């Protein structure tokens, strides 16, 4: 990975892309630290610290701590992710949008992108109003009234729209995959805070003090957590690089006095073709109950109906884990269906005189490819779901053993998957661009 970045830095064009990406991420982190007027960030941060093991903690992780302090980028990229899910589902359900996406070419893609942006702004407005309702109820505003409400909602909405635009700029002028890179930057930015929390947890255990705002951590758990994270990283890298290679044989053809074809090749099919997108989409859907809870002040009152409802969707709860598991599997199949078209690949093989040994060209080949992809997708989806939920199970076990630090492991485990997945995808994108610029083709 480091060698790839060093090689990319030597190429002027790639160096400019890397510098642009770094500058865009710097702007993102600056915006995540700018407080919105009329909000007492310290009081809000204290409340969000108490909710770190809930769904609000997950939203905070995705925003790089901006959510817990009510900064300009508090909503981060979540409205855009929700908008992308909605538009993609509508593209399948509405024939007009499907025709626009498939037959419209570049112009159709631009129209779909424009629709996604409009839906993003609408979702950001709704979430900003819900967030304002939440912080207004807890009395963390320096002043109340119509004007502060307008300013706060407008700031949150504008910040989310700007983050969406920033992600698109990274995709176009940077190293690509801008939305995932922004999520990556937000999670990485919380690294020093996580280390500090672990140190505080050990000190709390040593002193025998525990409060609602802190947790205790036995020193023996630290090497176990570190080793577990390293093993998780190795396992994620291994599965991400794993693939099923389907052999392809090309028939010999005589054109004039020359013979072409007769070569052997293969079709590489990744075990986890969808990458981290199913997890990101599943998290966006799983955060909907918390978004609804923002509109209901009584959701924070112990014993109320809404409070009980939100506790059901706690990030360490059984119901949340089941829903999260099913959503990851569902989005894995959904995303792979969009990415891989067995009929199109079968037709391309047939046109070029290629065939898979043991299967006739055309429909039999397409059926075989569909069967293989279905099995690999099931394995990849189960891998993502199990790895995403394994830290939650470990966290509950640690909680039973007396360490309240385990409550935040579910969020940390999901963060590792996103960080490792985005890092691997970015490195592969840089390697592809390096290969393209160093390939001399027919010049030699």
pLDDT of residue 441: 47
pLDDT of residue 160: 92
How would you classify residue 262: left for phi > 0, otherwise alpha for psi between -120 and 50, otherwise beta? left
Shared domain for 174 and 57, answered yes or no, is yes
pLDDT in tens, 5-44: 788 788 888 888 889 999 999 999 998 889 898 888 888 8
Shared domain for 4 and 143, answered yes or no, is yes
Q: How confident is the model at residue 443 (pLDDT cuts 50, 70, 90)?
A: very low
Shared domain for 350 and 399, answered yes or no, is yes
Residue 295 has pLDDT above 70, yes or no: no
pLDDT of residue 125: 93
pLDDT in tens, 300-356: 666 666 677 777 766 667 777 888 889 889 988 888 887 788 888 888 888 877 888
Alpha carbon distances (Å) from 269 to 242, 332, 369, 387: 9, 14, 10, 21
Shared domain for 181 and 224, answered yes or no, is no
pLDDT of residue 162: 94
pLDDT of residue 23: 93
Residue 173 and residue 17 in contact, taking contact as beta carbons nearer than 8 Å: yes
Shared domain for 15 and 127, answered yes or no, is yes
Domain count for the chain: 2
Residue 212 lies in a domain: no
Beta bridge partners of 268: 245
pLDDT of residue 120: 93
Shared domain for 179 and 228, answered yes or no, is no
pLDDT of residue 444: 44
d(CA 431, CA 438): 10
Beta bridge partners of 19: none
pLDDT of residue 212: 42
The pTM (predicted TM-score) of the whole model is 0.75
Residue 256 has pLDDT above 70, yes or no: no
pLDDT in tens, 396-433: 666 655 554 444 554 556 677 778 878 888 888 888 88
Shared domain for 350 and 249, answered yes or no, is yes
Shared domain for 162 and 231, answered yes or no, is no
d(CA 131, CA 60): 13
Side by side, which strands form the sheet with 243-250? 264-270, 243-250, 354-355
Q: Which domain holds residue 51?
A: 1-189
Residue 31 lies in a domain: yes
CATH number of the domain that residue 175 is part of? 1.10.3370.10
Residue 122 lies in a domain: yes
pLDDT of residue 218: 67
Residue 117 has pLDDT above 70, yes or no: yes
């Amino acid at each position: 990975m480091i060698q790839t970045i060093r090689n990319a830095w030597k190429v002027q064009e790639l160096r400019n892309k890397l510098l642009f990406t770094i500058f865009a991420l710097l702007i993102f982190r600056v915006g995540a630290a700018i407080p919105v007027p009329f909000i007492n960030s310290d009081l809000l941060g204290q409340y969000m610290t108490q909710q770190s093991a809930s769904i609000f903690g997950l939203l905070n992780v995705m925003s790089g701590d901006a959510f817990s302090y009510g900064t300009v980028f508090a909503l981060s990229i979540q409205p855009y992710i929700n908008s992308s899910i909605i538009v993609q589902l509508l593209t399948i359900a509405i024939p007009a949008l499907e025709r626009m996406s498939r037959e419209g070419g570049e112009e159709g893609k631009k129209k779909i992108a424009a629709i996604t942006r409009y839906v993003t702004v609408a979702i950001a407005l709704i979430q900003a109003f819900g967030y304002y309702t939440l912080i207004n109820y807890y009395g963390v505003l320096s002043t109340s009234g119509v004007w502060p409400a307008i300013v706060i909602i407008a700031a949150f909405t504008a910040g989310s729209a700007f983050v969406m635009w920033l992600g698109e700029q990274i995709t176009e002028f940077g190293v690509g995959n801008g939305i995932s890179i922004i999520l990556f930057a937000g999670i990485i930015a919380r690294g020093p805070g996580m280390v500090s929390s672990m140190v505080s947890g050990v000190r709390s255990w040593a002193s025998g003090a525990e409060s609602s705002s802190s947790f205790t951590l036995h020193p023996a758990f630290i090497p176990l957590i570190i080793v577990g994270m390293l093993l998780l990283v190795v396992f994620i890298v291994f599965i991400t690089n794993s693939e099923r290679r389907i052999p392809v044989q090309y028939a010999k053809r005589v054109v004039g006095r020359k013979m072409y074809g007769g070569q052997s090749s293969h079709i590489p099919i990744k075990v986890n073709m969808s990458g981290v997108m199913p997890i990101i989409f599943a998290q966006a859907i799983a955060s909907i109950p918390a978004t609804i809870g923002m509109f209901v002040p009584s959701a924070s009152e112990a014993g109320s109906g809404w409070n009980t409802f939100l506790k059901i969707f706690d990030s360490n709860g059984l119901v949340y884990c089941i829903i999260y598991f099913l959503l990851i599997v569902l989005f894995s199949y959904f995303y792979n269906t969009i990415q891989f078209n067995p009929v199109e690949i079968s037709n391309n093989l047939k046109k070029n005189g290629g065939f898979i040994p043991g299967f006739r060209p055309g429909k039999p080949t397409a059926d075989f490819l569909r069967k293989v992809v279905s099995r690999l997708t099931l394995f990849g989806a189960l891998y993502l779901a199990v790895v995403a939920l394994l830290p939650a199970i470990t966290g509950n076990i640690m909680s039973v053993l007396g360490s309240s630090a385990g409550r935040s492991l579910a969020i940390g485990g999901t963060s590792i998957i996103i960080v490792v997945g985005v890092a691997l995808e970015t490195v592969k994108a840089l390697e592809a661009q390096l290969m393209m610029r160093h390939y001399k083709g027919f010049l030699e």
